[in-house]
Structure formats: C-alpha cells, structure tokens
Structure 1
Amino acid sequence: MPLLLTETKKSQYEELSLLTAMFVDDEFQWLGNEEQVELWKLTLVTFAVDQENQEMHTLTNKEIPGFRFRILLNEESWLNVFLPERYPEINPECYFSSDKANRQFWTLVNEEIETNLKERKKGECCIFDLYQHIKSFLQFNLNFNNDLDNNNDNDNNDKNSVKKIILICRILIWTHHLLSLEKRKNICQWAEELEIWGYSKPGYPGIIIAEGLYDNVQEYVSRLKNLRWQAITVRSEETETFENYDDDDNNVSLKKDDYKEYLKLKLGCNNPGISEMKNMSEISSRMKEVGLEQMFLSSMKIHKK
C-alpha cells in the first residue's frame, strides 16, 4: 500500500508549484543535474494532477533529493534556495549571489536574509515572502549607496546647504487573480490615503501599478501582501531621486508637494488614487502614454513585434 504524502512534503510541493507558475522564462532555475531536475519536475506535475483530480497524494518509490533552485532578483542578482527534507518545519538554506556585488554588499544582503529567516514562523512556507523582502531591500540599498557615492563627490560644494533626498517609487504587482470587491476597494482607498497614483486591472491575472513616495509605496505593498491571495508578486520596481535644498539661494528649492509633478502615473490627475482599467490593452495604452510601456511589457513578459 503506497504511503500518503506528509503535510511537510505537501506544503513544499504547493509552494514550489506556485513559484514555478509565478516566475517565467529564466526567472526560476533549478540547480541540479539532469536526472534531479527531471525528477523534481515530474514530482510537481504528478502533484498537480492529483490536486486537479482531488486524489490522495502519495509518495513515489523513488527517493527525491532536496529541492535546489534560484530566483532572479534583478538583472544580476539571485536568491539561491535549498529546501531540507523537513522544511517548512525547519528553515531553508538561502543565500544571495551576484557577479557585480562587492564583498561588503554581499555580506550585508546575506545578513539580512539570515535575520529574516530567524524571524519567520515555524511551519510556514517563507520563500516567496523572503524573495519579496530581499528584492525591496536590494532596491532600497542600491539606490542609497549610489546616492551616497554621488553626494560624497559634491560635499565641498554643498556645505552651506541642507540637502534632502526625495525618493519616488514605482511598482507593478501581479496577482493570480483579482476578483474580490473588498480587495478592489482596499486597493483604491489605501492609494488615496497614502497619496499614490496608478492603475489596476481585475480578472485573471490581476494587475496593480502604483507610484508615490518610496515609504508610502512600500507601506501600500505591505498592506496588499497581508490580504489573502493565491499568489502575489512585485514584477517590477523602479525608483527615482530628487534633491531638495533648504536655505541656499544658489539652488532651486522644492516645495513640499513639488515632487508630485515628477510622478509619471499622475497624468494630470490632481487627486491621488488607482484608476481601474478594463483589460491589458487599456493599461498598455496608458503606460505608453506616460513613457512606461517597456516597464509594463517586460514585467508581463510580452514581446512586442
């Protein structure tokens, strides 16, 4: 009589099924020899068929090695993952890798991964949440590292001014679906509260594109992630910086709300909020109008002919 699949293995397979469906092209890569990769793929396909047919999940006679894979964080960085036999009862083994990161930055990111894993709840799958956290961490720190490098070159010229960096963030969120009227209401209300502009598209998949001050956008993403989703991921995140000089007659000073004039998704709308679009074509047209069509197309893996 075949052995039933343990809850631990079931959780692993469910999480991996979502991850492989969420990330396309080369964003998700298995790390193993040809035989291991084929076995991992076959295992997940069998699990999906059993789920669809509502059959009891059973263990195969063949021993399945621990899953190893990596997920693309940006064009040059990866989150590498190994799932031990008892995951999610115990922590996964994860580390950051990049061909262009220096040793100091590599250490910084891996320490953040270690801290995040220590804070996770035992028994809960965490790879996607970790991916989201590290992706945002990279974006935030890379921008500020660049700002610090640039600022050091100009310190002598700015001794009489107080320079403030205004950071604007723009994100595209993909969800498995967006049907709930309550979620759609939250998407709009939270955007107004946090002074965020953008668009959304309900249906399969759900799309949310938002822009505003960096901290506000990160709070917005955090609130959305805390809702119940089958799957949700930030497919694209961009940031821009603007400098605000105070008490310096030689520089143009930005007023409190002047940064809003630089928001591309604002598109002439005075009041913040998310405008709901009917379909992909309508969103693509709006993004093209504000010069962000490529962000939309690349995030959705649409290749324009």
Structure 2
Amino acid sequence: MCLQRQLQELQLIQHSLLPGESFSFTLPPEDSRIWHSLLDSFSSTDATSASTIAIGPTSIPQAKFEVRVSDAQLRFEVHFPERYPEDTDIDNAQAPSVSVNGDDISREKHYKWRAFVQQKLSEVQGNDFPIYQLICMHLLPKIHEELSGIMDSPDEQDPKRPLETAYYHALLTSHHLVSPAKRRSLQRWSSELSICGFAKVGYPGVIYAQGAQENVEEFVSNIKSMQWLALKVRFVEPIDLGSDEHHQSWTEFQKVGEVVEEMKRWGRDRYITEMGIGSLGLK
C-alpha cells in the first residue's frame, strides 16, 4: 500500500508540472532506473495492481527526488521514507523530508525558504497527497512569483495590475474539477493576475474570482480556452469592493457547503444561492 501511494503521488507531481519545471530522481543510476521502471509500469497498469509490479518490495530503494524551475537558483529535494505515507505526523520518523538547496543563495534567503517550507508542510498535513500539495500548490507558484518580481522593472507599472481600475468578480461552474493540471493552472493564473477567490474541486466544479476588470476577464478567458465538461459562466460583472477585509489568495474547497460558508463570510452568498448552488444543486 505504501508503494502504491508513493507512486500515485509521484505521478501526480510529474503530470502537474508546467513548462520550465522539472522532476528528477537524486539517486544512484541503478536506483533511479528502478523508480523510473516502477512509474512506467504503474502508469500502464491498474492502480490496484501496483503491488504486482515486477520488482519486489525489499529491492526498492527509498525514493529521493528534486523539483526545480529553470532560471531559479534554488531547488527542492524530497525524501520518502520506506513506510511513507503511514504515520506521517510532521515529527514522525516516517514523515517525508523536504530540503532547500541551491547555488549562490544567501544564508538569509535559505533560512526564509526553509521556514516557508516548514510552515506549508505543517499546513498540508492530513491531505491525501501532502507533498504534491506542498510542491505544486505552494512551492512552485512561490518560485514563479519570485522570478516574476525579479524580471519586472521597478520603474514600470505592470499593465495587469493597474493602480486605479474597476473591480469585477466572476462565477463559473462545471460538471467536475479534478484535473491536477487545471488546478495548477488556476493557481498560477490567480497569482499572475492578482486574482483572489477559490475553486471547489470534485463534483461539481465551482470557480469564483475577483480582481481588476481586465484581469478577471483574462482569467475567465483562460478557463474557457481549456476543455471542460458542461462549463457555464454564470456571470462576469462589476463589484464594489469598498472596505472589504476578506481579500485573500487562491483557495481550494472540497464541499459545496464550504463554498456557501465562504460566500456568506464575504457577504455574497446571494450570488450563489440565487443560482441554486448549495440548496437545490447546480441548475
């Protein structure tokens, strides 16, 4: 069971990488070959038969791999203990370790990144695939955010983030939202376009976004450009943010009830209850 779960998580990470992001095992050549063989076999067989993959469990080395972004100075190295994900409390010996490595990075930057990793690692504990969540929902987007900040000229205003503009919000629904790639895209676009909001994953899919008008419109356009089943744009319209204290980054929810509670917290529950979300189902 541990091997199957590890292979599932590694596959999720690999399939969620965006252009410029890379995954590689940091093991001796023969051990790396074993893990590549396991992943290839796992990808071509039913997940329930993972335990029958050619190499016996006593011959399998512990998984060690790194994920990095091109042009970034640092990289993240992950070590899966043999019995991970069993008993994976953050202080337990079977918890995975995540280290920050890099060339020519200052001690201060290294310390800040280590603290960030530990903070996010504690937040993702209890998820089915915590390392996938850590890397793909937190670390890689943070790296891209830093790189974007470095490349932006301080003397030039980012056209995607106007100082004074109209604010809009949008609500979209779909039959489902389960694809890791789509979830990663939503996370990345929200960061690039200064969008706050949430996605309700699973069945059905619900996406709510707010921000500057042109950014929200671009966000919605990006979503529509992907393949969706029964995607509906419920509205894209102006909103008065006023003294709204609930600005936040992108969030994911698992249940429709959580969506209703979040919109109530923002004082905007009528936007979804009027459409039957959370009461009569998706119309």
Task: Write the distance in 2 (CA, Å) between the matches of 1:57 and 1:213.
Answer: 39
Equivalent residues, number: 193
Q: CA deviation at 1:78?
A: 1.5
User: For the pair shown, which has the larger CA radius of gyration, 1 or 2?
Assistant: 1
Within the candidate set 16, 27, 30, 2:25 is matched to: 30
Query: Quick one: structure 1 residues 56 and 124, their matched pair in 2 at CA, closer, same or farther if it must change by over 3 Å?
Result: closer
Alignment of 1:89-104 (within 5 A): 89=86, 90=88, 91-104=95-108
Within the candidate set 49, 69, 91, 1:73 is matched to: 69
Q: CA deviation at 1:9?
A: 2.0
Task: Write the distance in 1 (CA, Å) between the matches of 2:4 and 2:191.
Answer: 40
Q: 2:82 — aligned with what?
A: 85
State, as a whole percentage, how many aligned pairs show the same letter: 16
Structure 1 portions without partners, runs of 5+ = 1-5, 152-164, 170-190, 196-202, 230-256, 280-305
Q: 1:173 — aligned with what?
A: none
Task: Write the distance in 1 (CA, Å) between the matches of 2:226 and 2:111.
Answer: 45
Within the candidate set 211, 218, 221, 1:274 is matched to: 221
TM-score in terms of structure 2 length: 0.52
Answer whether contact 1:88 1:123 (CA < 8 A) is retained: no
Give, as a single letter, the amino acid of the residue that structure 2 aligns with 1:274. Answer: S
Q: 2:201 — aligned with what?
A: 227
Q: CA deviation at 1:145?
A: 8.4
Query: Quick one: structure 1 residues 264 and 100, their matched pair in 2 at CA, closer, same or farther if it must change by over 3 Å?
Result: farther
Task: Write the distance in 2 (CA, Å) between the matches of 1:65 and 1:81.
Answer: 14
Q: 2:169 — aligned with what?
A: 193
Query: Quick one: structure 1 residues 38 and 145, their matched pair in 2 at CA, closer, same or farther if it must change by over 3 Å?
Result: closer
Give, as a single letter, the amino acid of the residue that structure 2 aligns with 1:35. Answer: E
Q: CA deviation at 1:104?
A: 0.5
Query: Is 1:17 paired with 2:22?
Result: no
Query: Quick one: structure 1 residues 194 and 103, their matched pair in 2 at CA, closer, same or farther if it must change by over 3 Å?
Result: farther
Alignment of 1:1-305 (within 5 A): 6=1, 8-23=2-17, 27-51=22-46, 55=49, 57-58=51-52, 60-61=55-56, 62-76=58-72, 77-89=74-86, 90=88, 91-122=95-126, 124-131=128-135, 132-140=137-145, 168=160, 193=169, 216-217=194-195, 219-220=196-197, 223-224=198-199, 226-228=200-202, 273-274=220-221, 276-277=224-225
Answer whether contact 1:167 1:214 (CA < 8 A) is retained: no
Structure 2 portions without partners, runs of 5+ = 89-94, 162-166, 172-178, 204-210, 228-283
Task: Write the distance in 2 (CA, Å) between the matches of 1:11 and 1:114.
Answer: 22
Query: Quick one: structure 1 residues 56 and 12, their matched pair in 2 at CA, closer, same or farther if it must change by over 3 Å?
Result: closer
Q: CA deviation at 1:56?
A: 6.3
TM-score in terms of structure 1 length: 0.49
